[in-house]
Amino acid sequence: MSTNNLHSSNLPGRHRLGRVWLVVFQVALVVGVVALCALLFNILNGSFGYVAVQDKVNPATLAVDGVPLEELDKDTLIQVLQANISAGLMARYEFDKPFAERDAGEVYDLILERVVAPEFVAQWSLYESLTNAGEVRATAAQEYPEARLEFRSWLNWHFLRAPQSSYPEIAGVRTAVLGSLWTISIAVLFAFPVGVAAAVYLQEYAPDNLINRIIQTNITNLAGVPSIIYGILGLAIFVRALGAFTSGIAFGVTDPATANGRTILSAGLTLGMLVLPLIIINAQEAIKAVPSSLRQASYGLGATRWETVWHHVLPNAMAGIMTGTILAISRAIGETAPLIVIGASTFIQVDPEGPFSKFTTLPIQIYQWTARPQSVFRNLAGGASLVLLGLLLTMNATAIILRNRYRRSQ
């Protein structure tokens, strides 16, 4: 090829530079993937593995007339239970829910929980359990001769359904999951309409003047404020100043388990404040992306501003607004610090009943379990982390499906 002396076309050098950058990009990708794998490994490592379980009473000894425990009928099961626990405890169970209303399975569960009372005496990580099963078995046999070795998934049906408990054997995440769902729902119910309305105002109505520019800058900056600050804000406003409302006293409803404004409502509103700037900014971007030719077409037909916004701008921005909201919710569902500040309960066993109940949430539950000295709670935390991730994925998937359906119907 002919060359002229105007260009010092160092083509091989330029290609080399390109290859160097390509390698940089690939390395960056690998780092990201490794970090992700490490995260997954860490969670899975704690969520599955061998446990040594030791029963207080061997279930075989509870057989009646040679019929094993699990095949007994309800009445016999009640007798077994009665024979093994105190009369006071028996009366409490009767009070909680009369035995006449319980089925055989429930009574059997009570016997397992109270009489057989299996205890986790040792547990191993997934990695150990898979790579070193022989040694695990040997150790277990040597150190806990009376225990049996089970491969356990810490994430299981019981774990999802059972309330919080200080016994790791029967503890579950039900209270925390319900608490998370409640707070997130309230946060979204509050922040979505307010955020979208604010975004519509800023994008479609607000004149470009100093005040509006200051407001805009503030919203942008608020999105970056650390969440603990929102916690302090929530504590001051929702828990303290508006305590009469957030505890339900002002409405004449007081939850028996209420705690002076440290309720689901306060938590939901605090999370709502936290995600509000995110929702506003994302909704603004989505509204900006609606082509101005659409607005012109609408105005050109004699539509008012409101008609233009309602019939054209919002429907066309909705997919983007929803995406932004999903991102915001994903952030909120994992928030721990602000909820601790406004006073999430550290230990509650009763399901939240409404916005005025005390609450705990999944990330708080995880945090508490990891902070416990007994190593078995770390496995519970691993299981709860899986639940949290699952919850997040489900919500995202639902939102994406909703969004795609919306797009198609457009």
Partner 1 sequence: MSDTAQATASLNGAAILSKDLSIYYGDFQAVRDVNLDIQTNRITAIIGPSGCGKSTVLRAFNRMNELIPSVNTKGEVLFRGENIYAPDVDPVEVRRRIGMVFQKPNPFPKSVYENVAWGARINGHKGNLDELVHSSLKAAALWDEVKDKLDQSGLSLSGGQQQRLCIARTIAVRPDIILMDEPCSALDPIATLRIEELMRDLAKEFTIIIVTHNMQQAARVSDRTAFFSLSEDGKRAGMLMEYGDTKTMFTRPEKKITEDYITGRFG
Binding residues vs partner 1 (CB under 8 A): 207-208, 291, 293-304, 307, 311-312, 316, 410
What's the min distance (Å) between Cβ of 207 and partner 1? 7
| Residue among 155 and 287 whose Cβ is closer to partner 1 | 287
DSSP assignment of 59-98 equals: GGGG-BTTB-GGG--HHHHHHHHHHHS-HHHHHHHHHHS-
Taking the complex as a whole, the smallest distance from the CB of residue 203 to partner 1 amounts, in Å, to 13
- Grouping H, G, I as helix, E, B as strand and the rest as coil, residue 174 is helix
**How far apart are CB 300 and partner 1 at their closest, in Å?**
4
Q: At what angle do helices 376-409 and 362-371 cross, to 10 degrees?
A: 160
Measured from the CB atom, the residue of 66 and 207 that comes closer to partner 1 is 207
Sheet of 48-54, strands arranged across: 119-123, 48-54, 148-153
The helix, strand and coil proportions of the chain, stated in percent and rounded to the nearest 5, come to 70, 5, 25
Q: Which is nearer to partner 1, 291 or 354 (CB)?
A: 291
Contact present, 175 and 164 (Cβ < 8 Å): yes
Please say whether the beta carbons of 116 and 55 come within 8 A. yes
Separation CA 311–CA 381 (nearest Å): 47
* Between 256 and 300, CB nearer to partner 1: 300
Nearer to partner 1, 99 or 299 (CB): 299
For partner 1, the closer of residues 148 and 311 by Cβ is 311
Cβ of residue 218: shortest distance to partner 1, in angstroms? 21
Smallest CA-to-CA distance from 351 within 188, 106, 172, 186 is with 172
Q: Which is nearer to partner 1, 221 or 304 (CB)?
A: 304
- Between 4 and 410, CB nearer to partner 1: 410
Q: CA nearest 123: which of 65, 194, 46?
A: 46
To partner 1, the closest distance from the beta carbon of 284 in angstroms equals: 17
**Nearest distance in Å: CB 192, partner 1:** 23
- Ordered alpha helix ranges (H), 97-250: 104-110, 126-131, 133-143, 157-161, 174-200, 210-222, 227-234, 243-246
124 vs 151: CA distance, rounded Å: 9
**Distance in angstroms (rounded) separating the CA atoms of residues 192 and 148:** 52
CB 209 to partner 1: min, Å: 10
Sequence-distant (≥ 6) Cβ neighbours of residue 329 within 8 angstroms: 184, 187, 188, 275, 395, 399
Minimum CB distance to partner 1, residue 201 (Å): 15
Instruction: Please say which residue, 4 or 292, places its beta carbon nearer to partner 1.
Output: 292
CB of 206 to partner 1, least distance (A): 10
Task: Give the torsion through C-alpha atoms of 52, 147, 167, 150, to 10 deg.
Answer: 40
